[in-house]
């Protein structure tokens, strides 16, 4: 018995003895590269090949990268990707952008017109939105929705790739598992060099200004005391990402004083001046509102 779970990966619920001959066993080695297959945790449905250079994973990764919801490169479908991989013409996402007409003319059913059309589609895809690019990277647990949330919240690939878990978790739509996946992905040196490569190749890495949330624009924040789970710098970053400003001392021009555990004299000053004081919970609500 199989049910649809975790998006589209079929989950085996149970083996009905009557209908089955023998038992179902999950594969132990990858049918593509013979590396070990593991089930990351019991809650998850998927079994994964642990080899980061697994050829089949690269193939599926490239197809995901070029797919409609991602970079939307028309003409870079399965048949073409398999041939390009087979000829060693692409080994990573960046290689897509290094393809030349000559490379494509060697493929089955490729004449000059078709080759040029694909090259144009590849070139055009460099302008795709940041959210599509984040989605295209194939980070575990990052679907189109989460990619869009990250792009809008952080505004640039740099900011997303430097975000830490507490910054990510502070975003309403991002849960702890997703946060761990994002941090884990960008912690890999090969992910870092991939991003640098794509940047040099001219891919868009920024969300248009108008789409970046700037709800805290012009607002001045002062921090005092400790906020649980976030350092002062991180809290400041969160404010800045949303257009706000962090200042060191309280004055009448201060909009908010964020008071954590054991606040200092700034707290008293804020009281005296009648500045709005936010506790930790209220601060996080403002960020996520
Ligand atoms: Zn494999």
User: Read out DSSP for 217-243?
Assistant: TT-EEEEESBBTTB-HHHHHHHHHHTT
* Residue 169 CA, ligand 1 centroid: distance in Å: 31
Q: Has residue 42 got a pLDDT over 80? A: no
Range scoring the smallest mean pLDDT among 109-113, 159-163, 206-210? 206-210
**Domain architecture of the chain: domains with CATH:** 1-50 (no CATH), 55-125 (1.10.150.20), 140-211 (1.10.150.20), 220-288 (3.40.50.10190)
Q: What is the mean pLDDT of residues 223-230?
A: 85
Q: In whole angstroms, how far apart are CA 127 and each of 122, 133, 135, 203?
A: 10, 10, 14, 6
* Residue 194 CA, ligand 1 centroid: distance in Å: 20
The pLDDT value given to residue 5: 67
How many of the other CB atoms lie within 10 Å of CB of 87? Answer: 11
CA 2 to chain centre: 29
The pLDDT value given to residue 7: 62
Average pLDDT, the chain: 89
- Please say whether the beta carbons of 5 and 45 come within 8 A: yes
- Six-digit token pair at 6? 């975790």
The pLDDT value given to residue 58: 94
- Please say whether the beta carbons of 65 and 94 come within 8 A: no
The pLDDT value given to residue 100: 96
* Residue 142 CA, ligand 1 centroid: distance in Å: 21
The larger pLDDT score, comparing residue 285 to residue 202, is at 202
Q: Has residue 182 got a pLDDT over 90? A: yes
Distance, in Å, from the CA atom of 131 to the CA atom of 4, rounded to the nearest integer, reads 26
Pick left, alpha or beta for residue 19 (phi over 0 → left; psi -120 to 50 → alpha; otherwise beta). alpha
- Six-digit token pair at 103? 């490379």
The larger pLDDT score, comparing residue 63 to residue 208, is at 63
Q: What is the mean pLDDT of residues 217-239?
A: 85
* Residue 223 CA, ligand 1 centroid: distance in Å: 49
CB burial of 175-194 (b: ≥16 within 10 Å; e: otherwise) equals eeebbebbbebbeeeeeeee
* Residue 78 CA, ligand 1 centroid: distance in Å: 18
* Residue 48 CA, ligand 1 centroid: distance in Å: 8
Q: Has residue 260 got a pLDDT over 70? A: yes
175 three-class SS = coil
pLDDT for 280-289, tens place per residue? 888 988 887 6
The pLDDT value given to residue 224: 92
The pLDDT value given to residue 188: 92
* Residue 37 CA, ligand 1 centroid: distance in Å: 8
* Residue 191 CA, ligand 1 centroid: distance in Å: 18
- Six-digit token pair at 110? 């490729």
How many of the other CB atoms lie within 10 Å of CB of 205? Answer: 17
How many of the other CB atoms lie within 10 Å of CB of 147? Answer: 23
Q: Has residue 258 got a pLDDT over 70? A: yes
Distance, in Å, from the CA atom of 247 to the CA atom of 254, rounded to the nearest integer, reads 8
- Six-digit token pair at 263? 């606040």
* Residue 211 CA, ligand 1 centroid: distance in Å: 39
């Amino acid at each position: 018995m199989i049910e649809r779970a975790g998006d589209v990966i079929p989950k085996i619920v149970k083996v009905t003895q009557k209908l089955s001959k023998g038992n179902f066993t999950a594969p132990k080695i990858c049918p593509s590269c013979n590396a070990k297959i593991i089930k990351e945790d019991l809650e998850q449905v998927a079994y994964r090949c642990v080899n980061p250079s697994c050829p089949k994973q690269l193939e599926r990764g490239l197809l995901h990268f070029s797919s409609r919801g991602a970079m939307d490169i028309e003409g870079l479908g399965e048949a073409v990707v398999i041939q390009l991989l087979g000829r060693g013409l692409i080994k990573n996402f960046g290689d897509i952008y290094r393809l030349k007409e000559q490379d494509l003319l060697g493929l089955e059913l490729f004449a000059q017109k078709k080759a040029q059309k694909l090259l144009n589609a590849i070139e055009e895809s460099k302008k795709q939105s940041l959210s599509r690019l984040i989605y295209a990277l194939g980070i575990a647990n990052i679907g189109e929705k989460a990619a869009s949330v990250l792009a809008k919240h952080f505004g640039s690939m740099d900011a997303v790739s430097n975000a830490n878990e507490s910054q990510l978790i502070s975003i309403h739509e991002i849960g702890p598992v997703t946060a761990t996946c994002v941090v884990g992905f960008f912690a890999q040196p090969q992910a870092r060099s991939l991003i640098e490569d794509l940047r040099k190749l001219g891919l868009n890495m920024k969300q248009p200004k108008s789409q970046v949330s700037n709800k805290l624009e012009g607002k001045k924040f002062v921090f005092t005391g400790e906020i649980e789970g976030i350092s002062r710098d991180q809290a400041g970053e969160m404010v800045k990402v949303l257009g706000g400003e962090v200042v060191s001392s309280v004055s009448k021009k201060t909009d908010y004083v964020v008071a954590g555990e054991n606040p200092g004299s700034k707290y008293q000053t804020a009281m005296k001046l009648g500045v709005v004081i936010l506790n930790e919970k209220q601060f996080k609500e403002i960020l996520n509102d």
